[in-house]
C-alpha cells in the first residue's frame, strides 16, 4: 500500500471517528438535523470530510498546463 492510499485511509478513519464522536457528544436533540440526528449519517459525513481533508495533503503529480510547457521549449 503506497503512502497516498495510507494517508487517505487514515483520514477517512479519523473523520468517521470524529463524526461519530460529534453525534454522541453534541448530536441533535430535536431530530430535525439532517446530518447529526443519525449516527450513520454523522459517521459517513465525517468519513467523507476526513477523506477530502487527507487528500488535500497528498503530494502527487503536479498538474501543468500544456500551453505553459510549450512556451518553455525551444522551437524545432
**Model pTM above 0.75:** no
Buried b (16+ CB within 10 A) or exposed e, 1-34: eeeeeebbeebbebbbebbbebbeeeeeeeeeee
pLDDT digits (tens, 9 = 90+) for 10-60: 999 999 999 999 999 988 878 788 888 889 999 999 999 999 999 988 766
Residue 73: what pLDDT?
A: 66
Q: For helices 3-25 and 39-55, what crossing angle results, to 10°?
A: 150
Question: 68 pLDDT exceeds 60?
Answer: no
Is residue 13 within 8 Å of residue 5, measured between CB atoms?
no
Phi, psi angle pair for 60, to nearest 5°: -100, -155
pLDDT tens string 43-57: 999 999 999 999 988
More confident residue, 9 or 71: 9
**45: helix, strand or coil:** helix
Amino acid at each position: 500500500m503506497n503512502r497516498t492510499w495510507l494517508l487517505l485511509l487514515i483520514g477517512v478513519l479519523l473523520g468517521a471517528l470524529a463524526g461519530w464522536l460529534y453525534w454522541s457528544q453534541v448530536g441533535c436533540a430535536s431530530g430535525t438535523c439532517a446530518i447529526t440526528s443519525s449516527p450513520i449519517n454523522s459517521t459517513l459525513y465525517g468519513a467523507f470530510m476526513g477523506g477530502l481533508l487527507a487528500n488535500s495533503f497528498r503530494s502527487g503529480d503536479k498538474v501543468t498546463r500544456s500551453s505553459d510547457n510549450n512556451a518553455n521549449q525551444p522551437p524545432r
